[in-house]
Amino acid sequence: MLELFITAFVTFFVAIDPPGVAPIFAALTEGSPKKHRREMAIKSVLTAAGVLLGFALGGRWLLDAMHISMDAFRAAGGVLLFLMALEMIFEKRTERREERADRISDEDESISGTLEDISVFPMAIPMMAGPGAIASIMLFMSQTSSAWEQGVVLAGAGLNLLICLIVFLLIGPVMRFIGDSMAAMITRILGVILAALATQFIFDGIRGAFMGG
């Protein structure tokens, strides 16, 4: 159980990427009152949790309805996570997030006298509950054999979302402590770890397909 929790936690930490989404949240809520920033932090995390929980519980039904085997999904999810890892290593993912944040900020400036709700988009989806996190939680849930193991997987994802909430609520001191250079270094290290985990998912999917065939 401990090994499963550690693997799930690390995978979701990489997929959700709290150090990576923190600067985006700071940029999108810059100049907002503390009350609005707190509301956006809570709402974005709750929305992301709902999305991930929905795919965790109903993802298998969706695959069955589309006649997609778990081995095929496992291999495809591994490829997706591997591509995301490459983007993290070469900072493409961070650049894309920053561009999205700038675009949203520009749109906010055109609306005078209003506070934009950025909790659902882009913070919850696709920042936290993006394709990588969704694929990860479906892959882990497909490999569990008991309710306890499912609870451990959900705990790994939930703890990462809790970290995001704490970071969002303390975004000012956190950003001053982390800094841009430290955030970039953490993202690259996590990218290497994710690449290894993604490769294992691909191997498991291919092996399962051949053994099943």
CB 8 within 8 A of CB 158: no
CB 24 within 8 A of CB 207: no
pTM score of the predicted model: 0.69
Q: Could you tell me the pLDDT band of residue 111, with boundaries at 50, 70 and 90? A: very low
Q: Where do the domains of the chain lie?
A: 2-12+35-101+133-212
Mean pLDDT confidence for 35-63: 92
Most confident of 20-24, 140-144, 148-152: 148-152
pLDDT tens per residue, range 54-110: 999 998 888 888 888 877 877 887 787 788 778 778 876 556 555 655 665 565 554
- 17 closest CA partner among 138, 158, 160: 160
pLDDT surpassing 60 at residue 213 = no
